[in-house]
Structure 1
Amino acid sequence: MASGTQAPSIKGRIADDLRRQILNGELAPGDRLPTLATLMDLYEVASMTAREALGILKNEGLVVSHGNRGTFVRDLKRMTYRIQSDLIERPDVVAKDLFLTEQETDGRRPTQKIEVTIVQPPPEVAERLPLADGELAVVRRRVRYLEDEPYQTNDSYFPFSIAEGTEIMSPDDIARGANLVIAEKGYVQAYARDEITVRMPTREEQQRLALTPGVPVAHQVTTGYDKAGRALRVAITVLPGDRHVIVVERPGIPDPESAR
């Protein structure tokens, strides 16, 4: 053994063995893992050790327990999350909002729950979104689902002066997108800035997304600006790490020949 390394604990070795079987396909999605009694006999360990080994895999989002039925390999289908989609020009006539449209195109079954409230924005929003003295913000709080499982939250904040009297105030899908809604009032978003932090979830995020312990999240703050650099909206998206592949598409390096 290399100097400075430690042998895995017995519970870690059990988890390693089961993880390897899951990742190489020996245990397929929906398959039942060995029972506690089987693991106890196979590895000659106490029930607590076997239970802790399964707990490691639960925390990693690889398995899920169904009461007395046992522990099963999770049928996990990661969602492709395209950061740049928010600024893609859309057709004038669309039936559903961007999230629903994209996920249906990818062959998924998306739904979302929306609630709209008028709030004093939290500090991370207030420091980015300029409000007049005493002005509140309108927030569209969304939980987005795929196949009835919560996959992400998206909370979009707008100054009340911008959102007032628009579809933003209604808890319904906005098929053409909120950016176009505010553009029709003269608030045209010219560019956006994304800040992404990877961290452990808050208690509220665990509840909204039904997260198992140990699953980290990507916390994305998107601020949309007009040409003058004034912030028009702030959106906070929380993406569980076990459910997403984040895709960023960028332009390539200019061809030196074409620049001559």
Structure 2
Amino acid sequence: MESQPAYQRIAATYRTRIASGELRAGDQLPTEHTIADQFGVARQTVRTGLSLLVTEGLIVARRPHGYFVRQREYMIYRPQEKSRPRPVTPEMVDRFSQQIAAEGRVPSQRIEVSMVQAGPDLAERLRVEPGTTIVARRRVRFINGEPTNINDSHFPLELVKDSEIMSPAYIPRGTDQVLVDRGYGQDRAIDEILIRMPTPDEIHRLELGPGTPVAVHYDTGYTADGRPVRCTVNVLPGDRHRIVFERSWLS
């Protein structure tokens, strides 16, 4: 370990202390001056070492107070919940809000609606030509006021024009039921999950720190005759989610 550059030894030391539980979520690290004295290096070397841990998502810098072990409160994300019947409640609250409220946390969301040109990924899934105008219903979901994930649904314009989907207001019965009422009920869906680094737009919308990967869940819904009528893109920061699949054995 001594052969490593000093900044890497500093990062390794505090990475180990966090992994072992010696330093817990919310704990403050020693000051840069204290660490510099401990390792016999300049404070800039300490900053370089700690910046590695910031990039890895292990600590956060809160100037002028110092560095703290990052607190992680995961949301359990269950892709299979989408296909289950939506429970009817007096408030007709969506699944996300029900789940988070049941955990004693405060859910909220910001909704925007716009007409956009389909990029290659959406064009392929909705079976339209790239550049075709489609409707994007963009949502950022929040837990306790902090952005948690992106839930952007996309629809062919001719299927949803003049419907509630075109309004940024919350739709109590849900967009899937709007499609049903317009004759485009979904018979099946294809789920795709990929892992990548976020785009600049996703970093901005989710207020992501350096080095935070995201899981991207494409959920494309089809009518009984195989026509794609919706493609929802869920962007899940890796430091805020645990993805859980539940399976039943078929006899």
TM-score by length of 1: 0.88
User: Distance between the aligned counterparts of 2:41 and 2:94, measured in 1?
Assistant: 53
Q: Per-residue deviation at 1:134?
A: 9.1
CA RMSD of aligned residues (A): 2.2
1:150 aligns with 2:153: no
Q: Per-residue deviation at 1:133?
A: 11
Would the aligned equivalents of 1:90 and 1:176 in 2 still touch at CA under 8 Å? Answer: no
User: Distance between the aligned counterparts of 1:153 and 1:8, measured in 2?
Assistant: 40
Equivalences for 1:79-98 in 2 at 5 Å? 79-93=75-89, 94-98=91-95
Q: Which consecutive residues of structure 1, in runs of 5 or more, have no partner in the other structure?
A: 255-260
- Per-residue deviation, residues 18-68 of structure 1 (Å, max 9, x unmatched): 123223332232221111111101111222221122111111222211111
User: Distance between the aligned counterparts of 1:162 and 1:132, measured in 2?
Assistant: 16
Residue 150 of structure 1 aligns to a residue whose secondary structure is strand
Letter in 1 for 2:49: A
Letter in 2 for 1:96: V
User: Distance between the aligned counterparts of 1:219 and 1:8, measured in 2?
Assistant: 36
Equivalences for 1:41-120 in 2 at 5 Å? 41-93=37-89, 94-120=91-117
- Say which of 26, 30, 35 aligns to 2:31: 35
User: Distance between the aligned counterparts of 1:230 and 1:155, measured in 2?
Assistant: 19
1:206 aligns with 2:199: no
Bigger mean CA deviation after superposition, 245-254 or 13-22: 13-22
- Per-residue deviation, residues 208-240 of structure 1 (Å, max 9, x unmatched): 111112111111211111111110101111111
TM-score by length of 2: 0.91
Q: Per-residue deviation at 1:8?
A: 4.7
- Per-residue deviation, residues 169-199 of structure 1 (Å, max 9, x unmatched): 1112223321112111111111111111111
Residue 68 of structure 1 aligns to a residue whose secondary structure is coil
User: Distance between the aligned counterparts of 1:9 and 1:177, measured in 2?
Assistant: 55
Q: Where does residue 243 of structure 2 map in the other structure?
A: 246
Q: Per-residue deviation at 1:249?
A: 1.1
Equivalences for 1:92-241 in 2 at 5 Å? 92-93=88-89, 94-131=91-128, 136-241=133-238
User: Distance between the aligned counterparts of 1:21 and 1:134, measured in 2?
Assistant: 51
Say how many residue pairs are matched: 250
Letter in 1 for 2:186: Q
Relative distance call for 1:179 and 1:67 in structure 2 (3 A) is: same
User: Distance between the aligned counterparts of 1:195 and 1:153, measured in 2?
Assistant: 16
Q: Where does residue 11 of structure 1 map in the other structure?
A: 7
Q: Where does residue 21 of structure 1 map in the other structure?
A: 17
User: Distance between the aligned counterparts of 1:111 and 1:83, measured in 2?
Assistant: 20
Residue 140 of structure 1 aligns to a residue whose secondary structure is strand
User: Distance between the aligned counterparts of 1:71 and 1:180, measured in 2?
Assistant: 48
| Percent of pairs with identical residues | 45
Residue 91 of structure 1 aligns to a residue whose secondary structure is coil
Would the aligned equivalents of 1:196 and 1:220 in 2 still touch at CA under 8 Å? Answer: yes
Residue 13 of structure 1 aligns to a residue whose secondary structure is helix
User: Runs in 1 of length 4+ with deviation above 4 angstroms?
Assistant: 131-135
